[in-house]
Every structure is written in C-alpha cells, then in structure tokens.
Amino acid sequence: MKLTVFNGSPRGKKSNTAILLEHFLKGFMETEGNSYELEYIVNNKDVGELVEMFKDANNVILAFPLYTGCMSGIVKSFVESLKPLYGKQDNPSVGFMVQGGFPEAYQSRFVERYLEKLAKRLNCQYLGCIVKGGIEGIQGKPQFMTQKFFYYFYELGKVYGKSGKFDEEMLKNLAKPEHLSVLGRLFYKFARLTGMANIHWNKQLKENKAFEKRFDRPFT
C-alpha cells in the first residue's frame, strides 16, 4: 500500500503532529510492501504542488492540530485549493488526524464533520478521523504519561497498514475523554482562576517575543 501523508502543523518537523505521525507510520510500515511519502504543508510556498501530490496519490492522510476549533490558515488554504478535484472519479481514499491542546475530544467533532463532508465533495473514500485532545506539552512529558496513547497511534497505523481502514473501537478509546468529568472541570476552573492554565502558553508567547502583543486585535 502506498500512502501520502500531509503534516499540516505550522511547527513542521518540530510539531506534536510529527510525533504522533511517527508512531502511526511505524505501525503502518509493519506490513511488508507498504511505503509512504511525508510532506510538510508549512514548507510549501506553492500550494499547487501539494494539490498535484494529492491528485496523484492512492491513499492520503491529512494530519493537523486544532486551531481555534478548526484548522490553521495553511491547512485551510490547502483544503480550499483542492476544489478543482471535487467529484473526480479517481481521487484517493482519505483519512484525517486531528489533535488539540485541550483534553476533550468533543472540541474536534465539529471539524471532523466538516472533514467528512469534504471527503464526500471530493468523491474520496472517507476512512474516518483520528481525534486526540490533551496533546500540547507532550514533548516535555515523562514516558509513562504518553506511552499508552503513542501505542494506540502505533496500533491504529498497524491496522490501517494491513486493512486500509481505521479501527472504530480504537478511535473511540484513543479519543477519551470525550467530555471532562465534573472533577476535571473543577480542576480546569481552578487552573484558570489561579493563572496556572496560562503558564505554558505565556512561556511560549515570551519565547516567540509575542507576549506584549497577546491582546492585539489586528483586524479591528
């Protein structure tokens, strides 16, 4: 099986998306004869080249982080550039991977519905959408906190590599929690009220010299 993978994170090779894909692709490569091509959307100035890659592919996985409940500009631009391929007969099968910073999978269900519709418009076989929340910060987490869901990504890739399909049961288990428990909601309320929830993001803003600009409203 030949697979074309698009990583839609603006962080490119240093992204969380790249880490999750690494595990998925490790599983995918367990089946003899499988091969893949991996492209970083952020590296492409000419979106036309990406459209050509999509057009020539047999099977596609588009993986990206959730940005404000949906997708980043680079992914949106890519998706919109696929319009000339709508309804064509020989479009590839397509599956998606959406991961976000907040823990609830529910947040990604809206973009998931959009992606299913997109696959239909493109006349692609829709394989489903891998959804996982709580991913921001994984790069600094100890192994015991990440190994379980990394294993899920590996297993999902393995099953996909063999069957060309996503395992529905695994998708459901990986996505948990769909909603936060009452205790979880209380914890996040506490973290928000004490400013704890901002520590990680403020650090990132400072590292990118954007902290002073965090309340800017450039479009108003």
Ligand X SMILES: Cc1cc2nc3c(=O)[nH]c(=O)nc-3n(C[C@H](O)[C@H](O)[C@H](O)COP(=O)(O)O)c2cc1C
Q: Which residues of this protein are in contact with ligand X, per CB under 6 A? A: 9, 11, 15-17, 65-69, 99-102, 107, 133, 135-136
Residue 112 CB coordination number (10 Å): 17
Minimum Å gap between C-beta 26 and ligand X is 17
Residue closer to ligand X (CB basis): 102 or 150: 102
Please answer whether residues 112 and 127 qualify as being in contact, where contact means their C-beta atoms are separated by less than 8 angstroms. no
Please answer whether residues 109 and 185 qualify as being in contact, where contact means their C-beta atoms are separated by less than 8 angstroms. no
126-132/59-65 β-pairing? unpaired
Q: What span, in angstroms and rounded, lies between the C-alpha atoms of 104 and 133?
A: 6
Minimum Å gap between C-beta 72 and ligand X is 7
Minimum Å gap between C-beta 2 and ligand X is 24
Phi, psi of 35 (to 5 degrees): -150, 160
Residue closer to ligand X (CB basis): 98 or 156: 98
Minimum Å gap between C-beta 136 and ligand X is 3
Q: What span, in angstroms and rounded, lies between the C-alpha atoms of 20 and 24?
A: 6
Residue closer to ligand X (CB basis): 42 or 85: 42
Residue closer to ligand X (CB basis): 27 or 134: 134
Residue closer to ligand X (CB basis): 124 or 156: 156
- Using Cβ positions, the residue closest to ligand X within the complex turns out to be 100
Minimum Å gap between C-beta 91 and ligand X is 26
Angle, CA 28 vertex, CA 26 and CA 29 arms, to 5°? 65
Nearest of 99, 86, 95, 89 to residue 1 by alpha carbon: 95
Minimum Å gap between C-beta 14 and ligand X is 7
Nearest of 20, 61, 71, 19 to residue 38 by alpha carbon: 61
Residue with the two structure tokens 């996040």? 188
Residue closer to ligand X (CB basis): 169 or 217: 217
